[in-house]
Amino acid sequence: MPNLVEIRWHGRGGQGAVTSAELLARAAIDEGKYAQAFPSFGPERRGAPVLAFDRIDNKPIRIRAEITEPDVVVVLDATLLRVVNVTSGLKNKGVLIINTAKPVQGIESASGNKWRLATVDASKIAREILGVNIANTTMLGAVLKATGVVKAESLFEPLRHRFERLAQRNIDAMQKAFEETVIRE
C-alpha cells in the first residue's frame, strides 16, 4: 500500500460502515499514524446505501474531501453490487473487498481484473460468533488481510472501548474473517 491509503466503505444504513471506519482510524492513530474517518450522510435511512471513508498516512493529512479515487473499497453488503457502482474511481491495482458467500471465482466477472479481489462470508461469521447478521467488525479482518494497513492487535483496544462486554466476540469474528478471507491477486 502507498503511504496515504484511502478507503471507501459501502454499506446500508444500520450495518455499521461508519463504526468500522472509526475503529480502523482509531487503530491507526494508536499505531502512531495519522487518520481520518468520516461518513457521507444524506437522506439515508435504515437499509439505504451509505458511505464511510478512511484516510491513513504516516504524515499529517491535509485533505478534507470525500474520497473519489480510493485505494481500497469495502462492500459490507453484496446486494449493493447491483445498486451502486462500488468500483467507481477505484484505482488500478486497488483492492476490492466484498462480504459474500460466493467464492472469488463467482464474482470475478463482476470485478474484472483491474483490482485485487478479496472475499469473505462475513455475514456467516457474524451470525455464528456474534449471533447477528451485522458484519462490520468482521469485515475489519478482511481489510487487515487484504491491506495490512494496521496490525490486528491495534484494533483490540478500539473494539474493547466500543463494545465492552461484547468486544471479545467482535475480536474473534474479526480474526476468523482474517483467516477465511480469500484474495485473488
Q: What is the pLDDT of residues 139-179, one digit of tens each?
A: 999 999 999 999 999 999 999 999 999 999 999 999 999 99
Q: Which string of DSSP letters, residue by residue, matches 98-158? A: EE-SS-HHHHHHHHTTSSEEEEE-HHHHHHHHTSSS--HHHHHHHHHHHH-SS-THHHHHH
Write down the domain spans for the chain. Answer: 5-184
Superfamily of domain 5-184: Pyruvate-ferredoxin oxidoreductase, PFOR, domain III (3.40.920.10)
Report residue 179 as a C-alpha cell.
Answer: 483467516
Rounded to 5 degrees, φ, ψ at 38 are -155, 150
Q: What is the pLDDT of residues 52-81, one digit of tens each?
A: 999 999 999 999 899 999 999 999 999 998
Q: What is the pLDDT of residues 94-108, one digit of tens each?
A: 999 999 998 777 676
Q: Read off the pTM.
A: 0.93
